[in-house]
Amino acid sequence: MLRPAAILLLSALRLAAAPALDVWHAKPEIRAVESAAALKLTGVRDGDFYRARLTNTGKTPVHVTEVSLFRIAHDLPDTTALYGESFQMLSQTAGTLGAPRDLAYDELKHYKIPQPAGVKALTGMITLTPPGGETQLLAFTSCRRFNGRFFLRPKSIEVVLDTEGLALAPGESWEMEEFLFTSGPRRATLLSALAARIDRNHPPLHVPAPPAGWCSWYCFGPRVTAKNVMDNLGAIAKDAPLLKYVQLDDGYQPAMGDWLETGAAFGGGVQEVLQSIRKQGFEPAIWVAPFIAEANSHLFQQHPEWFMKGEDGKPLPADKVTFQGWRHGPWYALDGTNPEVQQHLESLFRTMRTQWGVTYFKLDANFWGAMHGGKLHDPKATRIEANRRGMEAVLRGAGDSFILGCNHPIWASFGLIHGSRSSGDISRKWATFETVARQNLMRNWQNGKLWWNDPDAITLSGTMPAEEYRFHATAVMASGGLVLSGDDLSTLPADRLETLKKLLPPTGVAAEFEDETLQIGTVKLKDRTLLCLFNWGAEPITLPVRLPRPGAVTDLWSGKSYGAQSALQIPLKAHEGTVLVVR
């Protein structure tokens, strides 16, 4: 239960004593350009949930930079297990309070998202699990306008909303984002409740099952040709027809931003390739980065007024405030608060849907639609609103298509995408298999609740040890989300193709893990239970497995039968994973 801040005490976590504005709050810290004396923060508690409102009771506008709802002092040990999300999909934090560990990019170092000195900044949610104790969950359950953050300092946690320096006019009020604070013995139960509350605040876009398909990037990259796609379409039709979506993943456009023009690789034939996909009974899918453009693009040259501005009033290059982009940078970010930009996005996606026949859009670089540091067409809007308005225009144009968000702001994407990429890019090496698996599995709580998770493509070609491919395939199975092949299926060996086919169709159910070691995950299906086993280490192990109920056990990958069992000892090679099917 979230209690009045003056008396809040939960296990080792407590609010620092402070004068209260009312019975429910410790005294907040409101950071503003001008004096914050006229600003009043009021709040309402409803069980574990808390909602606040900020009002300007004065006679002049106040530019508010941050609202610190709570500064929490604690005596949790440094060995307390930590997990936290970040603003950008490609950032996550695990480890412990004493030694936080980035699972991917660092928000500050890579994306240059501002934060106070001497803190570890996380976004959206954090869980804290002291040794032998209950898990404690702190989370924002909405993200309509303001980004909710957590600043970790030695022995304290600050709960903050980023108000971006917007002006709060005299008599005006802002509704803050809803905050959740709770605890319990099962971390998975807490995260399930968090997902349910997020869905209440941001109703999700429903698709009954996660898609399966093929994408061109991980075998052909930006140099993909029409022949590459057609060769794989033939292989899919012959050997893996459950791969319904055939995705042209980059390489068709002449410049970043000019998505309706045709690159040289296709010789003017993008639409012909997409039409061929549909004629053979499959669904055309395409990659688009809707919010960015390079300087040489026709879009940028013809409409520079559509982009976020710098202090000088000119379009703001991304490298001035954040990562410049991975190709043809620095990128420029379209301003989703500009009605003309909204019309452009709607028209772009309507053309691709109705004229090109695309029914699946892989959206990339969506983070730049919420890029910090830029001036917006609507001076009262936040970068969260810029992203959300732009995405709403995309949805209007895309109609009934499936929308996958990649490289996106996670909390700012609630209710706006059907699928969410849940890891960094895959590559055919063990270090990446391990890293991407951990990133995906820590986000299993989102799959099938907020959206369908996309663990990125499964790549089974190459010369890695067979056990590492089994680990990779097991991780994709355990994610419960999309299954997209990233191999050239016209040349994939038959045994690897059989592994791919055993992942189809996607189950739609993510594994629940016993603990954060992520060694044994359970997928509960109607007719069977899957136990996903992982050896993350460099030495062989024997993993004791106790079944939830006795049953006949077989190994999914090898087909080996263990007969009727209630408990087993499963040997795993270094870097090996496997799936036990229990019926």
Gap between the Cα atoms of 373 and 489, Å rounded:
44
- Give yes or no: residues 239 and 357 share one domain: yes
Task: Point out the domain boundary residue: 421, 452, 478.
Answer: 421
* Contacts (Cβ under 8 Å, ≥6 apart) of 385: 144, 145, 336, 337, 378
Write out the two tokens for 582: 């229990």
* pLDDT at res. 20: 21
What's the number of domains the chain is made of? 3
Residues 324 and 387 in one domain: yes
Considering the domain boundaries, does residue 129 fall inside one?
Answer: yes
Q: Give the per-residue pLDDT at 9.
A: 30
Place of tokens 């946690």: 157
DSSP designation for 367: G
pTM to 2 decimals? 0.94
**Closest by Cα among 506, 426, 430, 517 to 467:** 430
Q: Is residue 172 located within the same domain as residue 58? A: yes
Q: For residues 101 and 139, is the Cβ–Cβ distance under 8 A? A: no
CATH of the domain at 336: 3.20.20.70
Q: At which of 399, 421, 443 does a domain end?
A: 421
Confidence at residue 24, expressed as pLDDT on a 0 to 100 scale: 31
Question: Which is it for the CA torsion 417, 393, 485, 472, positive or negative?
Answer: negative
Contact 486, 457 (CB under 8 A): yes
193 and 226 fall within a common domain: no
Residues 408 and 528 in one domain: no
Positions of the chain with pLDDT lower than 70, given as ranges: 1-27
Express each pLDDT in 50-87 by its tens digit: 999 999 999 999 999 999 999 888 889 999 999 999 99
Same domain for 229 and 175: no
Residue 572's domain comprises 512-582
Say which residues have a Cβ less than 8 Å from residue 170's Cβ, sequence separation at least 6.
56, 58, 59, 60, 61
Question: Which pLDDT does position 27 carry in this prediction?
Answer: 61
Q: Do 516 and 535 have their domain in common?
A: yes
CA dist 331 → 91, 250, 256, 465, 544 (Å): 20, 16, 8, 39, 51
Q: What is the pLDDT of residue 22?
A: 25
Whether 248 is covered by a domain: the verdict is: yes
